[in-house]
């Protein structure tokens, strides 16, 4: 049996202009720490005006650790391709726009009974 020998193709010289070095867009110049903080702030979950009113009227107070857990739940939903998610955390349900990382509303334990959540495509338990 005769094996076929394949020779590599010759390497062609690179033509054209060299790539220009990338620069930081205007308004984002600063130290790495500042850029990192800006990125973290942009990825943090936000609360709509409606959600803020619901949190106040239902006396739902979130600690920094709870907000971080909520943020992790939103990230998990985003990784699975969710658009609008119900996130259940400590007997409170949050409806979240995953794309905007915005809590739309919050419902606590007593108000959860016999409640129907619509316009969601996923649920996350954190």
pLDDT digits (tens, 9 = 90+) for 87-119: 999 999 999 999 999 999 999 988 888 889 999
| Helix/strand/coil for 35 | helix
CA-CA distance, 52 to 46, in Å (whole number)? 10
pTM for the model stands at 0.67
For residue 35, name the pLDDT band (cuts at 50, 70, 90): low
Structural domain contains residue 14: no
Examine residue 68 and state whether it is found in any structural domain, yes or no. Answer: yes
Domain that residue 81 falls in: 45-125
Q: Report DSSP state, residue 82.
A: -
pLDDT of residue 21: 58
| Pairing label, strands 46-47, 102-108 | parallel
What is the number of domains present in the chain? Answer: 1
Q: What is the mean pLDDT of residues 19-30?
A: 58
């Amino acid at each position: 049996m005769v094996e076929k020998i394949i020779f590599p193709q010759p390497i062609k010289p690179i033509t054209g202009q060299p790539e220009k070095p990338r620069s930081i867009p205007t308004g984002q110049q600063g130290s790495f720490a500042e850029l990192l903080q800006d990125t973290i702030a942009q990825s943090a979950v936000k609360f709509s005006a409606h959600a803020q009113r619901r949190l106040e009227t239902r006396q739902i107070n979130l600690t920094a650790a709870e907000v971080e857990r909520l943020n992790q739940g939103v990230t998990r939903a985003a990784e699975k391709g969710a658009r609008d998610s119900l996130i259940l955390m400590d007997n409170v349900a949050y409806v979240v726009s995953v794309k905007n990382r915005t809590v739309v509303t919050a419902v606590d334990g007593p108000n959860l009974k016999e409640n129907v959540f619509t316009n969601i495509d996923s649920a996350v338990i954190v």
